[in-house]
Amino acid sequence: MSNVITVLDNGHPISFTFDNINAYHGGGFPGGVAHALKAMQAAFPLLSDTPLERREVTIVTAFSGPGGRDALEMVTRALTEGRLTVDKSISDHPGPYVFRFSYRGRTAEAVIKPGHVKEEFVTLGAKQDKTPDEIARHEELKAEMAYRLLPLAAEQIYNASVITQQVVP
């Protein structure tokens, strides 16, 4: 499957690959990069038939991880420009994997489907004072999640739907 997302920057197409985004991020949380990329891939087509103007996208998400944050920032510049909000209360699902993207009067929500985040990953991520072996295992799980998700279509990972649509007179 494609691991590319294309947006517009003042009308000019600009494409980002997982590898581009992960390099920008620094590689520490590749699973978060993959999640944000797949959420954007699932939701953006619901907002427009053409690539979105990146600086017009507003994001509210329950996901606060640095990989996801950096992916959203690189593609949309929403963090730098004050259009990215982390709000844990929007998720009535297990975990923070809920993303709401607003663009030109429409909002689409991408919510993770069950089975894509391993319980071991969640448990280790929440654990304080990890042993060196647990730290190493958690790092393995971060990479494993990214490379398990990347070959899948976004629609296999996230349910996306339009949740608001402004009626234009």
Task: Examine the pLDDT at 166 and tell me if it is beyond 70.
Answer: no
Residue 96 pLDDT: 87
pLDDT recorded at residue 5 = 97
Q: What percent of the chain has pLDDT over 70?
A: 96
Task: Classify strands 84-86 and 58-61 as parallel, antiparallel or unpaired.
Answer: parallel
Q: How does pLDDT run across 129-146, given as a tens digit for each residue?
A: 999 999 999 999 999 999
According to CATH, the topology of domain 4-165 is: 60s Ribosomal Protein L30; Chain: A; (3.30.1330)
Handedness of CA 121, 96, 94, 5 (dihedral sign): negative
Residues 93-98: what's their mean pLDDT? 81
Burial class (CB within 10 angstroms; exposed 0-12, middle 13-18, buried 19+) of 63: buried
SS (HEC) of the chain? CCCEEEEEECCEEEEEEHHHHHHHHCCCCHHHHHHHHHHHHHHHHHHCCCCCEHHHCEEEECCCCHHHHHHHHHHHCCCCCCCEEECHHHCCCCCCCEEEEEECCEEEEEEECCCCCCHHHHHHHHCCCCCHHHHHHHHHHHHHHHHHHCCCCHHHHEEEEEEEECCCC
Hey, where are the domains in the chain? 4-165
The answer to whether residue 165 scores a pLDDT higher than 80 is: no
Is the distance from CB of 148 to CB of 161 less than 8 angstroms?
no
**pTM for the model:** 0.92
Confidence of residue 167 (pLDDT cuts 50, 70, 90): low
